[in-house]
């Protein structure tokens, strides 16, 4: 049940957070323009080297990102095993077989990724 007190508190919170965001944004613009007057700091390379070529001189392989995303997905899925292993003595057969189905699905997905060549570097 939503009362007028809820909407009042929500309005105060929204107004405070919006004003705080505006103040921080304006303060950041002011501080960055005040301290960014050094010519060496705004040069293209702070180390002193001029760029050798255009910025897109190398083609970057997308498979690096694919392998990184797959690692994160499988790593997060495996992290579900820790709470399951801790609560294994308290859960019934439904919880056990639910995790078993999850592990089978995870294994099938990993085998599919392996044989489809998604984990190859080159």
pLDDT at residue number 30: 83
Instruction: Quote the tokens at residue 116.
Output: 């489809």
Give the whole-angstrom CA distance, residue 113 versus residue 63: 13
Its pTM surpasses 0.75: no
pLDDT band at residue 50 under the 50/70/90 scheme: low
Nearest residue to 120 via CA among 46, 40, 63: 63
Say if residue 20's pLDDT is above 90.
yes
Which residues have a Cβ under 8 Å from the Cβ of 91 and sit 6 or more positions away? Answer: 84
Which residues have a Cβ under 8 Å from the Cβ of 119 and sit 6 or more positions away? Answer: 67, 70, 113
Domain boundaries, the chain: 1-53, 63-116
> How far is C-alpha 121 from the chain's CA centre?
23
Query: Which is higher by pLDDT, 32 or 103?
Result: 103
Say if residue 54's pLDDT is above 60.
no
pLDDT band at residue 15 under the 50/70/90 scheme: very high
Instruction: Quote the tokens at residue 48.
Output: 């002193």
pLDDT at residue number 74: 82
């Amino acid at each position: 049940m939503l009362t007028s007190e809820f909407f009042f508190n929500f309005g105060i919170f929204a107004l405070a957070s919006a004003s705080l965001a505006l103040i921080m944004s304006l303060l950041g613009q002011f501080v960055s323009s005040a301290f960014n007057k050094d010519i060496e700091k705004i040069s293209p390379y702070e180390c002193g080297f001029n760029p050798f070529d255009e910025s897109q001189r190398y083609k970057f392989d997308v498979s690096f990102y694919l392998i990184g995303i797959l690692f994160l997905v499988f790593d997060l899925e495996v992290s579900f095993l820790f709470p399951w292993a801790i609560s294994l003595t308290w859960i019934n057969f439904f919880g056990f077989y639910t995790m078993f189905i999850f592990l089978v699905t995870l294994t099938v997905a990993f085998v599919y990724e392996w044989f489809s060549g998604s984990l190859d570097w080159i």
